[in-house]
Amino acid sequence: MVHHDINTTLQRDIMISNRGFFICRGFKRPVLPLRIFRCQIVVSSSTSSLSKSFKMASWLTIPSKSHFSLANIPFGIISTSAEPTHRPAIAIGQHVLDLSVFAQNNGFSKLADFPSDQLKVFSQTTLNDFAGLGRPVHRATRAYLQDVFRQETPYPEILKNNESLRKQALIPIEDVQSHLPLSIGDYTDFFAGRNHAHTVGTLFRGAANALQPNYNHLPVAYHGRASSVVVSGTPLHRPWGQVLPNPQAKEPVFQPCARLDIELELGMFISKGNKLGAPVDVNNAEEHIFGYVLMNDWSARDIQQWEYVPLGPFNAKNFGTTISPWVVLADALEGFRGRGLENEVPPKKYLDEKREDSILDINLEVSITTAKGNRTKITQVSSQNLLWSWPQMIAHHSVSGCNLRTGDLLGSGTISGLEPGTQGSLLEQTMGGKQFVKLEGGEERKFIQDGDSITITGWSGTAEDSLVGFGECEGTIIAAVPRD
C-alpha cells in the first residue's frame, strides 16, 4: 500500500464519535476507548500499535513530560508585561499561543467550521463567549490547532513557516501572567467523594452513621461563593471567624482560624446552559461541559464546626477557592475514562446514566511546601474515587428547573482513597487533628500554617504516549488580616 503519514491515515480509518468512543471502519458498534484499545492497523511496515500511534509529533519542541502536549490543547486567559490586556490563549509545551494575535492574523482562515463573525470570541477578556459556542465548536477548534502544530501540518503557511506570526503569537509560558479563565456567575460544590464523606462522617458521628441517609440516593451539594474563586498563585489570608475554643466551651470566641485545611477537588465549567424550567437530561449532559480544572476548596474546620448547623458551611468556605488556570477541554480527556465507586442503591430515572465509563481517570497529587522551603508530597490518588459523575451532577442540579449558565463552576467534592497517603484533606490524614503528618526537614503538620503553600497537580496518560495535564494549582496561606 502507499505509505501515508500515520496521523492522516488514522484520521481516515478511525472515527471518533460524539460520545468519545473510537470506531474502526468495519465495526458496527463502538469499541473501547483509546487508552486501553490494542488493535493493530497496518498503514506501513513500520506502523506501531494504535495505543502508541496517537502520540502526535510537532514541529514545535514539546518536552515529553510536559502536561501541555499536542494531545491536550488547554485554553486559558493570559496577559504580558508588554500587553496587559487579558486575552485567550492555549498552552502547548513551554509556550502559549496568543489566540487574539493568531485570529487577527488569519490564523483560523483554514478552519471552515468556525464562522468568521465569531472570531471575536478570541478578543474577549474571558473564555465565556468561546465556551458558550458549544462542544462541536470546541472540538473543531482544538482539532484544527492540533493540525496547525503537527510536524506534517497541512497548513504550514499558517504558523510553521510564518516566522512573523510565530514571533508575535508564540510566547514562552514563563513570560505570561495567567488569570481566571472564565467569569464565574455561580459556583456549586458537590460532595461526590464517598471515601472522604465516609471517613469524615465516621470522625464526627461514628461508623454506623458515617453517611447521611440521602448520600447514596443523590449528589449532595451546596452553593459556594463565586466571587472568592481565585486563580493559581493568588495568596489568601487566614480567615477570621467564630470558633469554640475547646469541646467543653459553651460560648464561641472570635479569632483567626486555627484548623485551616485543604480539599483536593476537580472543577468543571459549564459551556451552554439550560433554560429556566428545562432540566438537562443525564444522557445529554456532557454536551453542556466545557472543560475541567484542578481545585483546592480551602476549609476552615474550626469555623465550620461551629457554624454549619443547620444550613451547612458559610464563612468556613467562602474566603477562597483556588483553581488552576488552564481549562482542559472535555474532548482531551475522552480517552481517559472508567468506572467510579460502586453504588449499591439503584439511581432514580433522572440519574440513570447509560454510559458506564462515566468517571474521569486522572492522576492527582498534593504537595505542601513550608515557609522553610521543604516540599513534601502528601497525597496521591485517582479521580475515579467519586460516586457520582459530572453528567449526574448536572442532571441533579437542573432537575428542579434550575438554569445553569455559561461559566458556572461545579466542584466534585473532596477526592480521597482509603489507604494512607490517598486522602484529599488534612482532616482525614490527621484523624481530625489527633496525629501529625510528617514532612521533609523534620517538620510536621496537623493543619496549614502561615507561609505554607499547597500545590495540586493532575494528569492523564504517560510521557511515552503524551500527557494530558493541568499544570499546577498553587496557593499560599498568609497571616490573618490584623484586627483591633
DSSP string computed for 345-379 = SPPPGGG--S-S--EE--EEEEEEE-TT--EEEEE
Indicate if 397 belongs to the active site: no
Sole residue written with cell 468517571: 359
CA separation for the pair 184, 181 (Å, rounded)? 9
Both 346 and 398 in one domain: the answer is yes
Q: Which of 178, 199, 219 is the last residue of a domain?
A: 178
Q: What is the pLDDT of residue 56?
A: 85
| Domain end point (choices 10, 27, 54) | 54
Residues whose CB falls within 8 Å of the CB of residue 296, separated by 6 or more in sequence, listed in order: 262, 263, 264, 265, 321, 322, 323, 454, 456, 473, 475
pLDDT score recorded for residue 113: 74
What the block records as the C-alpha cell of 261 is 485545611
Cis-peptide into 310, omega within 30 deg:
yes
Residues 110 and 209 in one domain: no
* 484 is a domain residue: no
Instruction: Give, as one character, the DSSP assignment of residue 303.
Output: H
Structural domains counted in the chain: 3
Residue 483 lies in a domain: no
- Residues annotated within the binding site for Ca(2+) are 189, 263, 265, 297
**Single-letter amino acid, residue 484:** D
Residue 331 within any structural domain of the chain: yes
For residue 255, the tally of other CB atoms under 10 A from its CB is 15
Please choose, from the candidates 463, 473, 462, the residue with its C-alpha nearest in 3D space to the C-alpha of residue 367: 473
C-alpha cell at 224: 459556594
Question: Is 222 contained in some domain?
Answer: yes
Q: Do 269 and 394 lie in a common domain? A: yes
Residue type, 480: A
User: Cell triple for residue 240?
Assistant: 477570621
Q: Would you state the pLDDT for residue 337? A: 96
CATH of the domain at 252: 3.90.850.10
Q: Is residue 420 part of a domain?
A: yes
Measure the CA–CA gap between 226 and 246, rounded to whole angstroms: 32
| Distance between CA atoms of residues 453 and 298, nearest Å | 12
* Residue stretches of the annotated binding site: 189, 191, 205, 263, 265, 297, 304, 308, 317, 321, 414
Same domain, 131 and 199: no
Give the whole-angstrom CA distance, residue 312 versus residue 271.
28
Same domain, 173 and 195: no
Do 382 and 417 belong to one domain? yes
10-residue mean pLDDT series, the chain (484 residues)? 32 34 34 32 28 70 97 99 98 99 97 86 98 96 98 98 98 99 99 98 94 98 98 99 93 98 99 98 99 99 95 96 99 97 97 96 99 98 98 99 99 98 98 98 98 99 94 99 93
CATH assignment of the domain containing 76? 2.30.30.230
**Burial class of residue 207 (count of CB atoms within 10 Å of its CB; 0-12, 13-18, 19+):** exposed
Cα–Cα distance measured from residue 304 to residue 193, given in angstroms and rounded to the nearest whole number: 19
224 and 281: one domain? yes
pLDDT at 54: 58
**Catalytically annotated residue among 67, 138, 196, 396:** 196
- Among 125, 157, 178, which residue terminates a domain? 178
Residue 74 lies in a domain: yes
For the CA atoms of 284, 290, 293, 296, what is the dihedral angle to 10 degrees?
Answer: -70
Residues 191 and 163 occupy one common structural domain: no
Residues 6+ apart with CB under 8 A from 129: 120, 121
Cα gap 184→118, rounded to integer Å: 22
Do residues 230 and 146 both lie within one domain? Answer: no
Query: Is residue 320 within 8 Å of residue 474, measured between CB atoms?
Result: no
DSSP H helix total and E strand total for the chain: 10, 28
Contact indicator for 135, 142 with CB cutoff of 8 Å: no
Helix (H) or strand (E) holding 11: helix 6-13
150 DSSP assignment: B
Residue 327 confidence (pLDDT): 99
Report how far residue 264's alpha carbon sits from residue 253's, in angstroms, rounded to the nearest whole number: 29
Burial class (CB in 10 A: 0-12, 13-18, 19+), 229: buried
**What is residue 222's predicted lDDT score, i.e. its pLDDT?**
96
**Does some domain include residue 474?**
yes
Q: What is the pTM of this model?
A: 0.89
* Opening angle at CA 322, ends 319 and 326, nearest 5: 155
Greatest distance between any 2 Cα atoms in the chain: 83
Asked if residue 95 and residue 1 are part of one domain, the reply reads no
pLDDT of residue 247: 84
Q: Judging by beta carbons within 10 Å of its beta carbon (0-12, 13-18, 19+), is residue 172 exposed, middle or buried? A: exposed
Q: From CA 305, how far away is CA 318, in angstroms rounded?
A: 15
What pLDDT does residue 144 have? 98
Same-domain check for residues 369 and 236: yes
Residues 260 and 393 in one domain: yes
Identify whether the C-beta of residue 58 lies closer than 8 Å to the C-beta of residue 70: yes
- What domain range includes position 200? 187-478
